[in-house]
Structure 1
Amino acid sequence: MTEPWLSADDIAAHLGVTKDTVYTWIAEKGMPAHKIGRLWKFQASEVDDWVRGGGAAGNAADGAEG
């Protein structure tokens, strides 16, 4: 079965961060994301692997998330 594509809102909720943090991570931390037209789309498995590999660690935006 094919994994569904998630929106920026969906992946932010999945990770428990704001959408602004997601966009910052795309630009500054290389978060796995795919641009389709004007929209960013995500695969939860790719993002989860990225987080487990330390991709989100050490970002100043983390502190604002609580």
Structure 2
Amino acid sequence: MDSDVLTVREVAAYLKIKEKTAYRLAAEGKIPGFKVGGSWRFRQRDIENWIETQSSGIEPGENER
């Protein structure tokens, strides 16, 4: 179960971005994440789905109109 939830460091490495950028994207709501005791955490499947959405150019909820 631990491997399903990523830290900022892990998500930054996964996305090949700097940790500071991962923090900023999370705080701006641009990548899916949640805070636990003040620390950002990310579900791996949410990040993978976000990558697919970014790759396809479709905004979440766009097909629901």
TM-score, length of structure 2 as denominator length: 0.68
Q: Are residues 29 and 35 of structure 1, via their aligned partners in 2, closer, same or farther at CA, if it must alter by over 3 Å?
A: closer
1:42 aligns with 2:56: no
1:22 Cα deviation from its structure 2 partner = 0.7
Residues 33-53 of structure 1, C-alpha deviations (whole Å, 9 max, x = no match): 110001111111101111221
More strand by share: 2
Structure-2 residue corresponding to 1:28:
28
Percent identical pairs in the alignment equals: 25
| Structure 2 unmatched ranges of 5 or more | 58-65
State how many pairs are aligned: 55
Structure having the higher Rg: 2
Aligned mates of 1:53, 1:12 — CA distance in 2:
18
In structure 1, list runs of 5 or more residues that go unmatched.
Answer: 58-66
TM-score w.r.t. structure 1 length?
A: 0.67
Q: 1:19 to 1:49 in 2, by over 3 A?
A: same
